[in-house]
A = this chain, B = another copy of it.
Amino acid sequence: MNVKTSSPKIPRKPLSASVARPINELLDLVGQRWTLRILWELRDGPSTFRGLQLRCGNLSPTVLNKRVQALRDADIVELTTSGYALTTLGLELGIKLLDLTKWAERWSRKRAV
């Protein structure tokens, strides 16, 4: 009694799944590779698709597109005439990330000891 494999309709799991709380939804979103980095790079101002690629170390367009689409769906990023940019909501998140940066610096210093 255990179907398990051989069920082609249910691939496996969307992501962390069972996102009851918003935080889980957020963690799923920003827990994907490159998402946080993209947000971070956009803090400095808008950037074109190819500009973002460069900032992220020549990130492949395949992944970049997936991420920006997800971020656009989430109303965190929008595509403007001057390129991809953080929305109002995204800017707020950017501020939180700035806070993380300060922590990251202390973290790095303490670990170096």
Name A's B-contacting residues (CB within 8 A): 13, 16-18, 21-28, 30-37, 40, 56-57, 74-76, 89, 92-93, 96, 99-101, 103-108, 110-111
Contacts and interface: CB of A to CB of B under 8 A. Distances in A.
7 A-B pairs with the lowest CB-CB distances in the bound complex, closest first:
A22-B108, A26-B104, A22-B104, A23-B101, A23-B104, A27-B36, A31-B36
Q: Which DSSP category, helix, strand, loop or mixed, fits chain A's interface? A: helix
B23 A30 contact: no
Contacts of A74: 107, 111
A37 B33 contact: no
Contacts of A40: 23, 27
17 contacts: A16-B34, A17-B57, A18-B57, A22-B104, A23-B101, A24-B37, A25-B108, A26-B103, A26-B104, A27-B37, A31-B33, A74-B111, A75-B107, A89-B110, A93-B100, A93-B103, A96-B96
